[in-house]
């Protein structure tokens, strides 16, 4: 992967930079020992590594502001980092940058059930947000697979989704306000525990901006009362097409399951070998989950069963207990682990119109066969957000490049059928150079202009999101 | 572009919009059908109504793409035929604003127009998944697309929603849709203001999925939608939770009135967004001043009509809402329509407008 040449002037001045960082932060908040910065050389896109100049772990918005002000004055690039779980390399460092991690800022500032919000520091993990309100019967809806580890800062940066966003929306739909520190060090409060912006919707463009616009240190999040219960049903079909039709029929019927998850045969087989969840041997499998009181769940599942039966499922298994629900989800939730057990894998994240599902799955199978790398598909079918997993062997020369080329072709296919490169993981460094497939120069220029406003010197999270040649003149000036 | 100001420009294609903006030698006053704009800029009127027509509707994927000038009513009719809808319930403001004309999708998007269901389903901006627009230099830009989950690049879709035509001329929009539920029931009870608002908040804090929570001359009102059996169950559960006497009714009349700001008096008209628990205090600031208020979103939205104040009540209302929300003046004079923003936010917004509309010709100056 191409990265810009590091700024030798900054690298040469490393010692001075670290001394000045120590001047504005407590001693334990600046990590400069290469042995200790090693943990920050990559995020979950672990195929690429680069040591930063230093890592800072501030404990407050004021400290974040001090770091950014200093780096801004010195012309030093800053890579913001939540928990480092980005699959897209969203917090991949450069050799001439300071990594700014918010992990130590993980407190709850305010919980207000009457007004249905929680205000947290953004280093808090996604699951710990729900954890703070769960005992009182509330939850935070967006639930990325990495929710045990991933931080709200990263969720906001990537506008993260999850299996249950079919009903509850993604981060942007559940974010009410932020405290953001601009690269200049200026602290700006945007939004709050009320609806809508009085002027331009800055919150809307900050959410999902991948650390390009500022460092979000605190956030007001919408919390919701927990549903009374939830129950999944598992159904197997004889082809991807039939499973795809069943999904469309469920949606058309006006049912709103909280999740519709899809797995194809390679994925089912791998998960079964790994997790022994007792999945049926079939071409395609759906897990549909509904919520409500026991009676509501029964009524919804009855309708879903009617629809499913019209598509002659080869298996139909309704959960009747907590244990059965757990087993139904077990395979799906261990999908990535199962793949990791077989091989190295690359997880894609393109979204397609739901109607294109059968065609896209067929094309992926053809492309996979042509290249000779296996692809397993597991995805959020209700909203068309696919997660093809390309299996490769990192120790085999040329395999990673082959895998990346196939990945790029699959993402181009997603765009070609009316979809997009990324539904919830973000562009990061991984898909940066594919942006021109989805956007023409004018579309990209409009996005760059927003970046110009928030970070005029282009110091924040460098070499991400936008193709390098598109940003070259801005980065140089 | 020369032309009498009383002859609106009515581009029929996106390319014509681009040409008109490119050639404009003065400010453009942008609008869809002119039914809901809080304010319009001075200058040559440019209407989007010619950019009309649904280009893609996939009921099975819950998505619709249409020209920005497509009449809202046309879209609603097409969706209704498939038992689908725009979940955010855009208001019809013609009556309260004294406007004529045909509401268009571009106006809905440009004003981020959302009704009672916003409290459950989100605002217009939450349902907008793609947009095409012409910026102030005449360049066509697209953001988002036609799929529900899309985090590719910066989200200019959200930025365009609620930008009141100050960043670009919207030419095409894509929405995600919602199925019309089988059944809707409204619950009403008499209660004094403070207790009534508390009931609404309590209902919204329950797992019974309330899709409307309003207080007005009709008392406290809740709406429950969904499959019939589920609605029956949740109505009973809400009654048990909240206590008191609740009257059940079917039909949407009450919610249409709340949506469109009906039942308020003459004078200045405000829409106030606030922390729900602050709602009572905001209205209390008007004690002694003739006014009427209707509360929606569980108190998170207040419609207020104020009579007899030279500043339209801005001092009192904006003073009371400082730190807990913001107030927009929809109708009346004597105060800025849009709430003044904090310096940092205002600077960013100004800089964004300068980037998208460097000539300052798109509904210039209306948002500050």
The string of pLDDT tens digits covering residues B306-322 is 999 999 999 999 999 99
Find the mean pLDDT for residues A319-344: 87
Between A and B, how many CB-CB pairs are < 8 A?
257
Find the mean pLDDT for residues B43-50: 97
**Distance from the A57 Cα atom to the nearest Cα atom in chain B, whole angstroms:** 25
With beta carbons under 8 A apart, name residues in chain B contacting A113: 205
Specify the range with the lowest mean pLDDT, choosing from A25-34, A270-279, B53-62.
A270-279
Please check whether residue B183 is in contact with residue B83, taking contact to mean a CB–CB distance below 8 angstroms. no
CATH of the domain at B235: 3.30.70.240
Tell how far CA B185 is from the center of its chain: 24
Find the mean pLDDT for residues B67-94: 98
- Alpha-carbon distances of A424 from A110, A259, A302, rounded to whole Å: 28, 15, 31
CATH of the domain at B67: 3.30.465.10
How far apart are the C-alpha atoms of A102 and A47, rounded to whole Å?
23
Determine whether the interchain pair B158/A427 forms a contact, defined as Cβ–Cβ distance below 8 Å. Answer: no
State the pLDDT at residue A355: 85
Name the percent of chain A lying above pLDDT 90. 86
**Nearest to A438, CA basis, from B24, B130, B248:** B130
State the pLDDT at residue A254: 84
Nearest residue of A to residue B154 by CA position? Answer: A209
- Closest partner residue to A384 among B147, B157, B348, by Cβ? B147
State the pLDDT at residue A251: 86
With beta carbons under 8 A apart, name residues in chain B contacting A116: 204-205, 276
How far apart are the C-alpha atoms of A244 and B219, rounded to whole Å?
47
φ, ψ (nearest 5 deg) of residue B244: 80, -175
State the pLDDT at residue B134: 98
Find the mean pLDDT for residues B157-181: 97
With beta carbons under 8 A apart, name residues in chain A contacting B237: 293
Q: Are residues B163 and B63 in the same domain?
A: yes
Task: Give me the number of domains chain B comprises.
Answer: 3
The confidence band for A333, taking pLDDT boundaries of 50, 70 and 90, is: confident
**Nearest to A428, CA basis, from B152, B149, B130:** B152
Specify the range with the lowest mean pLDDT, choosing from A141-150, A199-208, A215-224, B120-129.
A141-150
With beta carbons under 8 A apart, name residues in chain A contacting B203: none
With beta carbons under 8 A apart, name residues in chain A contacting B140: 442
Find the mean pLDDT for residues B222-237: 95
Q: Which residues lie across from A80 on neighbouring strands?
A: A100
Q: Are residues B246 and B304 in the same domain?
A: no
Give per-residue pLDDT as tens, A390-404.
Answer: 999 999 999 999 999
Q: Which helix (H) or strand (E) holds A409?
A: helix A399-416
State the pLDDT at residue A145: 86
Find the mean pLDDT for residues B175-190: 96
**Nearest to B352, CA basis, from B173, B166, B133, B172:** B166
Q: Are residues B40 and B170 in the same domain?
A: yes
- Closest partner residue to B273 among A195, A292, A446, by Cβ? A195
**Distance from the A423 Cα atom to the nearest Cα atom in chain B, whole angstroms:** 4
How far apart are the C-alpha atoms of A443 and A448, rounded to whole Å?
9
Looking at 3.40.50.10320, 3.30.560.10, 3.30.70.2740, 2.60.120.620, the CATH number of the domain A343-416 comes to 3.30.70.2740
CB of A174 less than 8 A from some CB of B: no
Q: Are residues B100 and B33 in the same domain?
A: yes
Boundary (domain end) residue, out of B204, B234, B259: B259
Specify the range with the lowest mean pLDDT, choosing from A98-112, A351-365, A455-469, B187-201.
A351-365
Find the mean pLDDT for residues A92-119: 98
DSSP designation for A84: S
State the pLDDT at residue A203: 98
ipTM metric: 0.97
Determine whether the interchain pair A450/B179 forms a contact, defined as Cβ–Cβ distance below 8 Å. Answer: no
The confidence band for B252, taking pLDDT boundaries of 50, 70 and 90, is: confident
Find the mean pLDDT for residues B59-82: 96
Q: Are residues B327 and B364 in the same domain?
A: no
Boundary (domain end) residue, out of B234, B259, B284: B259
Q: Is the pLDDT of residue A414 over 80?
A: yes
CB of A212 less than 8 A from some CB of B: yes
With beta carbons under 8 A apart, name residues in chain A contacting B353: 200
Q: Are residues B143 and B39 in the same domain?
A: yes
How far apart are the C-alpha atoms of A436 and A442, rounded to whole Å?
10
For CATH 3.30.465.10, list the domain ranges present in chain A: 108-225
Please check whether residue B330 is in contact with residue B265, taking contact to mean a CB–CB distance below 8 angstroms. no
Instruction: Identify the burial level of A251 via C-beta atoms within 10 angstroms of its C-beta, where 0-12 means exposed, 13-18 middle and 19 or more buried.
Output: buried
Q: Are residues B161 and B16 in the same domain?
A: yes
State the pLDDT at residue B2: 42
Q: Are residues B163 and B187 in the same domain?
A: no
How far apart are the C-alpha atoms of A264 and A240, rounded to whole Å?
7
For CATH 3.30.43.10, list the domain ranges present in chain A: 8-104
Q: Which residues lie closer than 8 Å to B58 by C-beta, 6 or more apart? A: A353, A354, A355, B64
State the pLDDT at residue A343: 87
**Nearest to A264, CA basis, from A144, A357, A148, A367:** A357
- Secondary-structure breakdown of chain A: helix, strand, coil percentages, each rounded to the nearest 5: 40, 20, 40
Nearest residue of B to residue A254 by CA position? Answer: B179
Find the mean pLDDT for residues A260-278: 90
Determine whether the interchain pair B180/A254 forms a contact, defined as Cβ–Cβ distance below 8 Å. Answer: yes
A108-225: CATH number: 3.30.465.10
DSSP designation for B340: P
Task: Assign A233 to helix, strand or coil.
Answer: strand
The C-alpha torsion from B312 through B315 and B318 to B323, rounded to 10°, is 180
- Strands annotated E in B135-240: 140-144, 169-176, 178-179, 183-189, 210-216, 219-226
The confidence band for B130, taking pLDDT boundaries of 50, 70 and 90, is: very high
Q: Are residues B145 and B202 in the same domain?
A: no
How far apart are the C-alpha atoms of B329 and B336, rounded to whole Å?
7
The C-alpha torsion from B142 through B146 and B151 to B156, rounded to 10°, is 30
Q: Are residues B237 and B90 in the same domain?
A: no
A8-104: CATH number: 3.30.43.10
For CATH 3.30.70.3450, list the domain ranges present in chain A: 230-335
With beta carbons under 8 A apart, name residues in chain A contacting B297: 195
Nearest residue of A to residue B132 by CA position? Answer: A443
Pairing of strands B210-216, B247-249: unpaired
Test the A interface: residue of B110, B154, B279 with most A CBs within 10 Å: B154
With beta carbons under 8 A apart, name residues in chain B contacting A198: 273, 326-328, 338-339, 341
Q: Are residues B87 and B172 in the same domain?
A: yes
Determine whether the interchain pair A227/B207 forms a contact, defined as Cβ–Cβ distance below 8 Å. Answer: yes
State the pLDDT at residue A248: 85
Q: Are residues B160 and B94 in the same domain?
A: yes
State chain A's mean pLDDT as an integer. 95
CB of A441 less than 8 A from some CB of B: no
With beta carbons under 8 A apart, name residues in chain B contacting A425: 151
The residue to which tokens 């002027």 are assigned = A199
State the pLDDT at residue A256: 83
Beta strands across the sheet bearing A230-237 = A315-318, A230-237, A284-291, A259-264, A375-380, A388-392, A344-347
Determine whether the interchain pair B159/A201 forms a contact, defined as Cβ–Cβ distance below 8 Å. Answer: yes
Determine whether the interchain pair B63/A435 forms a contact, defined as Cβ–Cβ distance below 8 Å. Answer: no
Q: Is the pLDDT of residue B3 over 50?
A: no
State the pLDDT at residue A1: 84
- Alpha-carbon distances of A32 from A54, A457, B189, rounded to whole Å: 5, 25, 64
Contact residues, A window 113-142, toward B, CB-based 8 Å cutoff:
113-116, 137
Enter the pTM of the model. Answer: 0.97
Residue range of the domain that includes B108 = 1-180+338-368
Boundary (domain end) residue, out of B220, B238, B259: B259
Nearest residue of A to residue B163 by CA position? Answer: A200
The confidence band for B5, taking pLDDT boundaries of 50, 70 and 90, is: low
Give per-residue pLDDT as tens, A157-179.
Answer: 999 998 888 899 999 999 999 99
**Distance from the B4 Cα atom to the nearest Cα atom in chain A, whole angstroms:** 31
CB of A302 less than 8 A from some CB of B: no
φ, ψ (nearest 5 deg) of residue A317: -135, 110
Give per-residue pLDDT as tens, A272-297.
Answer: 888 888 999 999 999 999 999 888 89
CATH of the domain at B306: 3.30.70
Which CATH class for the A230-335 domain?
A: alpha beta
Determine whether the interchain pair A201/B163 forms a contact, defined as Cβ–Cβ distance below 8 Å. Answer: yes
Determine whether the interchain pair B154/A208 forms a contact, defined as Cβ–Cβ distance below 8 Å. Answer: yes
Contact residues, A window 316-355, toward B, CB-based 8 Å cutoff:
351-355
With beta carbons under 8 A apart, name residues in chain B contacting A419: 145, 147
Find the mean pLDDT for residues A191-211: 97
Q: Which residues lie closer than 8 Å to B207 by C-beta, 6 or more apart? A: A137, A225, A226, A227, A228
């Amino acid at each position: 992967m191409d990265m810009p040449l590091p700024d030798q002037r900054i690298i040469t001045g490393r010692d001075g930079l670290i001394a000045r960082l120590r001047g504005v932060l407590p001693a334990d908040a600046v990590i400069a020992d290469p042995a200790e910065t090693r943990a920050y050389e990559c995020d979950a896109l672990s195929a690429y590594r680069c040591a930063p100049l230093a890592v800072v772990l501030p404990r407050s918005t004021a400290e974040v502001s001090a770091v950014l002000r200093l780096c801004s004055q010195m012309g030093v690039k800053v890579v913001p980092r939540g928990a480092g779980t980005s699959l897209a390399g969203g917090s991949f460092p450069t050799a001439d940058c300071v990594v700014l991690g918010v992990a130590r800022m993980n407190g709850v500032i305010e919980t207000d059930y009457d007004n249905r919000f929680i205000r947290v520091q953004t280093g808090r993990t996604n699951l710990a947000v729900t954890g703070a309100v769960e005992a009182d019967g509330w939850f935070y809806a967006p639930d990325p697979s990495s929710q045990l580890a991933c931080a709200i800062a990263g969720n906001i940066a990537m506008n993260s989704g999850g299996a249950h966003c079919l009903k509850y929306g993604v981060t942007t739909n559940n974010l009410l306000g932020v405290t953001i520190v601009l690269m200049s060090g200026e602290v700006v409060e945007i939004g709050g525990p009320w609806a809508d912006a009085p002027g331009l919707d800055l919150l809307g463009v900050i959410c999902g901006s991948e650390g390009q616009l500022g460092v979000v240190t605190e956030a007001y999040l919408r919390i919701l009362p927990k549903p009374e219960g939830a129950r999944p049903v598992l159904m197997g079909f004889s082809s991807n097409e039939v499973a795809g039709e069943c999904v469309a029929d469920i949606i058309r019927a006006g049912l709103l399951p909280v999740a519709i998850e899809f797995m194809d045969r390679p994925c089912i087989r791998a998960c079964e070998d790994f997790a022994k969840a007792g999945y049926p041997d079939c071409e395609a499998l759906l897990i549909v989950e509904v919520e409500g009181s026991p009676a509501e769940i029964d009524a919804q599942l009855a309708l879903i069963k009617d629809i499913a039966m019209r598509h002659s499922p080869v298996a139909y298994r309704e959960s009747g207990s907590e244990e059965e629900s757990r087993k139904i989800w077990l395979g799906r939730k261990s999908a990535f682990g199962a793949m990791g057990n077989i091989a190295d894998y690359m997880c894609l994240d393109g979204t397609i119109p739901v109607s294109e599902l059968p065609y896209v799955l067929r094309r992926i199978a053809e492309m996979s066969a042509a290249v000779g790398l296996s692809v397993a598909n597991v995805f959020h079918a209700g909203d068309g957000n696919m997660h093809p997993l390309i299996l490769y062997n990192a120790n085999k020369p040329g395999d990673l490049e082959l895998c990346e080329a196939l990945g790029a072709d699959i993402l181009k296919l997603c765009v070609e059928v009316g979809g997009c490169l990324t539904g919830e993981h973000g562009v990061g460094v991984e898909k940066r150079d594919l942006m021109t497939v989805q956007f023409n120069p004018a579309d990209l220029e409009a996005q760059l202009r927003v970046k110009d406003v928030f970070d005029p010197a282009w110091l924040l999270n460098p070499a991400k999101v936008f193709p390098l040649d598109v940003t070259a003149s801005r980065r140089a000036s | 572009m020369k032309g009498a100001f009383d002859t609106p420009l009515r581009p029929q294609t996106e390319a014509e919009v681009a040409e008109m903006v490119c050639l404009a030698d003065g400010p453009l006053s942008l609008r869809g059908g002119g039914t809901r704009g809080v304010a319009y800029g001075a200058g040559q009127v440019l209407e989007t109504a010619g950019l009309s027509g649904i280009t893609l509707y996939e009921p099975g994927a819950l998505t619709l793409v249409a020209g920005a000038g497509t009449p809202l009513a046309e879209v609603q009719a097409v969706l209704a035929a498939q038992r689908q809808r725009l979940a955010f319930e855009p208001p019809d403001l013609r009556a309260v604003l004294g406007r004529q004309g045909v509401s268009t999708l571009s106006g809905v998007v440009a004003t981020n127009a959302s009704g009672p269901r916003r409290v459950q389903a989100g605002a217009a901006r939450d349902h907008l998944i793609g947009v095409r627009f012409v910026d102030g230099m005449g360049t066509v830009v697209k953001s988002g697309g036609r799929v529900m989950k899309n985090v590719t690049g910066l989200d200019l879709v959200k930025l365009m929603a609620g930008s009141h035509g100050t960043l670009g001329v919207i030419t095409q929009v894509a929405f995600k849709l919602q199925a019309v539920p089988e059944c809707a029931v409204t619950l009403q009870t008499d209660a004094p203001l403070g207790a009534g608002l508390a009931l609404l908040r309590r209902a919204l804090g329950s797992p019974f999925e309330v899709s409307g929570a309003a207080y007005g001359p009709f008392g406290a009102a809740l709406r429950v939608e969904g499959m019939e059996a589920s609605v029956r169950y949740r109505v009973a559960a809400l009654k048990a939770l909240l206590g008191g006497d609740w009257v059940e009714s079917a039909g949407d009349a009450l919610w249409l009135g709340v949506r469109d700001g009906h039942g308020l008096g003459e004078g200045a008209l405000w829409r106030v967004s606030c922390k729900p628990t602050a709602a009572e205090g905001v209205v209390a600031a008007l004690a002694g001043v003739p006014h009427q208020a209707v509360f929606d979103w569980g108190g998170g939205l207040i419609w207020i009509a104020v009579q007899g104040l030279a500043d339209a009540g801005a001092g009192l209302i904006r003073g009371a809402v400082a730190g807990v929300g913001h107030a927009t003046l929809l109708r009346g004079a004597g105060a800025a329509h849009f709430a003044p923003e904090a310096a940092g936010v205002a600077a960013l917004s100004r800089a964004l407008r300068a980037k998208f509309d460097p000539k300052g010709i798109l509904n210039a100056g209306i948002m500050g």
